[in-house]
Amino acid sequence: MAEGLIHQVEEDQRQMEHLGAKYFHELLSRSFIQPSSNNASRIVMHDLINDLAQVVMGEVCFSLEDDKRENNKQCIIFERMRHFSFNRSKYDIFKKFEVFNKVEHLRSFITLPIQVDKRCYLSPKVFHDLLLKLRQLRVLSLSGYEISELPDWIVPCLYNLQVLILCNCKYLTKLPMNIGNLINLRHLNISGSLQLKEMPPRVGDLTNLQTLSKFIVGKEKRSGIKELKNLLNLGGNSKFQGYTMFEDSDDLRNESNELEVFKLLQPHESLRKLVIGCYNGPMFPSWIGDPSFSKMVHLSPKKCKNCSWLPPLGRLLFLKELDIEGMDEIENVGDEFYGEIVNPFPSLESLNFGNMPQWKDWFTLETLQIKECDELGSGLENLEGLLHLSLHDCGGVVSLEEQTLPCNLQSLTVNGCSILEKLPNALGRLTSLTDMRIEDCPKLVSFAETSFQPTLRDVVVKNCETLKSLPDGMMMINSCALESLEIEGCPSLNGFPKGELPTTLKILKIKNCKILSNNTCGLGWLSVWECSSLRTIPRGHFPSTLKQLCIWNCKRLESIPETRLQNFTSLRLLGLNNCTDVVSLSESSLATNLKFLMISDCENIKRPLSEWVLHTLTSLDALLIEGPFPDVVFEGN
């Protein structure tokens, strides 16, 4: 968005954020970026992919890293640079940024990291002498700095600003009084700004605002909340948070006051997404569930611990996603929830219940996610319309009963069921099942004999430490439709069942396992991670259809097989990372049509670079060699 690369067509009414999210998830699906193993809400990029991205971006992006701080003047700063990020330090003075005096067309100015781990200070001179010049800025992040205010005089210089991030600025007490002049602003994040006591006037003039992390109701200017009615686009994109309802002063926080304030917070009827968090009132105001909110598609009440019943949400005719969590007092969901209408929730597609220890009842829908509900009984078999089922962190579930799963189920996710030991034979009777994910089930030993449905196209099995075997049905080469198979963190798994993988298989990912397929005909993408027992890949294991091959952290792998990869005209990307026992790359290991070759931390490769026959790779666009190569001679042409 900052670079103007997201183009909307007239017939597509989706907002730029929605289109950008689509592009983002496309990159995620292709493993260019990946969820962090430490925090699923964060995204990481492998060093090799990061290096490749830097090669592609060239002069446009620049990141000021720790090892460059002491020698900024030697940093090559390009006048064409558009995006700048830097590591935040305890004292950031103007000298750190003075090399940017000639960069007047910057689009992004972003502090890293986003999380706060120490006190950081920013010199006021940065505002006066640098930010005043950046009139093309679209994204400004000053997160984590102990600034007390954003001065009024800076607003005219930020006319084009679309994103302003001031999260975790713990000593921020004031936003610009003229912030309403930032008419292009789409996202304002002030979460974690604990000293901010009220919103400035004219917030309602920010008519393009999509997300507002919180709206603060001050003691003296409670009427300011009426400006929310002017923000017709607030929460308009379901990919963004929308806004947290309110945050009032501590001495106002009692059940009666919170209910009265909540009544005053009735937003405009064009609202599409509403998130309610940590509301302590005894009930919800009458406007929640009012059918006049005809555009609302997402509603999420969370941690409203004093409410003993839910509002009549069934009257929201276009509601698609309902996320209910942390409602400690809810025991029964009765007619009041449905709104006493003939056809409640006519558009509902997804329902998520989480952390509701007293809850007992539910109703029929297409998508159901159950989290942390250990005592919830059976009854799923009665949900005949259910298409998508997710069970998360249900630690009391030992097994799924034979009668539990609805017959029309299309996707099944079982995650974090720590004592789950077996999957039911009923899986084999789910003739519509196409997607199955089994993750973090350390006690799962095996699949049922008939648990692999031929209709399955996408299967993921992760972190099932005691799993010893996969279902036989996946090796039925003529009757299986499997297209993508990902197996990770299953060290007890000794191999595939007898037979051959289906020719329909396009993507195979293996990480931290001992297995490798005997037949991968038709495969387009093969990724092998952390397979410590893998020493060699015998001749014939690579199909001619292979487009991408990545082998990472297989420290006992000794060589790329002599399979004449140069004859594989489809291969475009070859990546080797931390394969420390690989000693050579021969002519037969490199396909002539390679576009990307990435070799990292393979320190025992001994051949001179001149013998890698790189001159035969006439289609090569990017070559990345990273890490120590003490015995490689870098010479010649």
pLDDT above 90: residue 392: no
Q: What residues are paired with 301 via a beta bridge?
A: 276
**pLDDT greater than 60 at residue 183:** yes
Q: Determine how β-strand 243-248 pairs with β-strand 211-217.
A: parallel
Q: What is the mean pLDDT of residues 500-527?
A: 70
Summarize pLDDT for 292-328 with one digit per residue, the tens.
Answer: 998 899 999 988 888 888 899 989 999 999 998 888 8
| Closest CA relative to residue 493, chosen from 460, 463, 521 | 463
More confident residue, 429 or 182: 182
Tell me the one-letter amino acid at 10: E
Q: What single-letter DSSP state applies at residue 437? A: E
Q: Classify the C-alpha dihedral 415-421-426-427 as positive or negative.
A: positive
Q: Which residues contact 74 (CB under 8 A, 6 or more apart)?
A: none
> Which band of pLDDT confidence, cut at 50, 70 and 90, is reported for residue 249?
very low
If one compares 100 and 97, the residue with the highest pLDDT of the two is 97
Contacts of 571 (CB under 8 A, 6+ apart): 546, 547, 548, 549, 565, 591, 593, 594
The whole-angstrom separation of Cα 314 and Cα 582 is 62
- HSE of 125 in the Cβ direction (CA atoms, 13 Å)? 10
Residue 432: CB atoms within 10 Å: 13
Q: What share of the chain is helix, strand, coil (3-state, %, to 5)?
A: 20, 20, 60
List phi, psi (to 5°) of 140: -130, 120
Tokens of 470: 């996969």
Q: For residue 622, how many other CB atoms are within 10 A of its CB?
A: 14
Of the chain, the percentage scoring pLDDT greater than 70 comes to 73
pLDDT of 248 over the 50 cut: no
Lowest mean pLDDT among 255-269, 483-497, 566-580: 255-269
Residue 33 CA to residue 26 CA, distance in Å, equals 10
Band of pLDDT at residue 14, cut at 50, 70 and 90:
low
- Whether the per-residue pLDDT at 74 is higher than 50: the answer is no
Distance of alpha carbon 535 from alpha carbon 581, whole angstroms: 9
pLDDT, position 417: 85
Q: Give mean pLDDT, residues 523-539.
A: 71
- Is the pLDDT at 75 greater than 80? The verdict is no
Structure tokens given for 477: 């080469």
**What CA–CA distance (Å, rounded) separates 182 from 105?**
18
Examine the pLDDT at 155 and tell me if it is beyond 90. yes
State residue 566's pLDDT score: 58
Residue 434 has what pLDDT?
Answer: 92
Q: Is 147 exposed, middle or buried (0-12, 13-18, 19+ CB in 10 A)?
A: buried
Q: Quote the tokens at residue 232.
A: 């017709």
**What pairing do the DSSP bridges indicate for beta strands 458-462 and 435-439?**
parallel
pLDDT of residue 239: 30
Most confident of the ranges 147-161, 339-353, 606-620: 147-161
Distance in angstroms (rounded) separating the CA atoms of residues 85 and 114: 11
Task: Give me the mean pLDDT over the 469-481 stretch.
Answer: 72
By the 10 Å C-beta count (0-12 exposed, 13-18 middle, 19+ buried), 501 is classed as buried
The DSSP letter of residue 539 is T
Which whole number is the average pLDDT over 1-13? 68
Q: What is the pLDDT of residues 578-609, one digit of tens each?
A: 887 777 666 556 677 888 888 888 877 766 76
User: Residues 115-132: pLDDT tens digits?
Assistant: 556 788 888 888 888 888
H/E element holding 261? helix 255-264
Tell me the average pLDDT across 515-523: 55
- Mean pLDDT of all residues belonging to the chain: 77
The span from the CA of 177 to the CA of 14, in Å, is 32
Q: In which band, very low, low, confident or very high, does the pLDDT at 140 lie, cut at 50, 70 and 90?
A: very high
> Does residue 57 have a pLDDT over 90?
no
Q: Band the pLDDT of 164: cuts 50, 70, 90.
A: very high
Asked if 557 and 582 count as a contact pair (C-beta separation under 8 A), the reply is: yes
The pair phi, psi for residue 80, each rounded to 5°, is -80, -5
Return d(Cα 69, Cα 453) in angstroms, integer: 57
Predicted structure pTM score? 0.47
Mean pLDDT over 350-354 rounds to: 79
